[in-house]
Amino acid sequence: MMRQTEIMDISEVRRIFKRVVREEPTPLDVVQAARESVQTMCQEAAQYGLTTADIVKGVLHPVFEKSRGCNCSGCKVRRDDTAEEQLLDMPTPVA
């Protein structure tokens, strides 16, 4: 377990999770360190009445706020279908 002085910076945790979500190569030890940092944050925040969900939302919300799904084939297809539907719903310009 990491001590408080070893907790990874939140922005670094977000950067690592963003790489994982994008399926970019990320060393397992780096992912494990980010996971341990989030666990430590959760334990420390519990002393102030915050839940694990509060911390996970606070830390990871920026990772997902602008993305619509991950890069798996299912999400890619849904994004493509949504883009096609939006194009079909657009009014046709009249010249």
| Local confidence pLDDT in tens for the 95 residues of the chain | 444 445 688 899 999 999 998 889 999 999 999 999 999 999 999 999 999 999 989 988 888 776 666 667 777 777 666 555 554 555 555 65
Split into its structural domains, the chain has a count of 1
Let me know if residue 23 belongs to a domain. yes
pLDDT, tens digit, for every residue of 1-24?
444 445 688 899 999 999 998 889
Let me know if residue 12 belongs to a domain. yes
Let me know if residue 94 belongs to a domain. no
Query: Residue 2's pLDDT is what?
Result: 45
Q: Domain of residue 48: give its range.
A: 4-89
**Cα distance between residue 36 and residue 32, in whole Å:** 6
Let me know if residue 95 belongs to a domain. no
Let me know if residue 57 belongs to a domain. yes
Q: CA–CA distance from 34 to each of 13, 37, 41, 76, 88 (Å)? A: 5, 5, 11, 27, 42
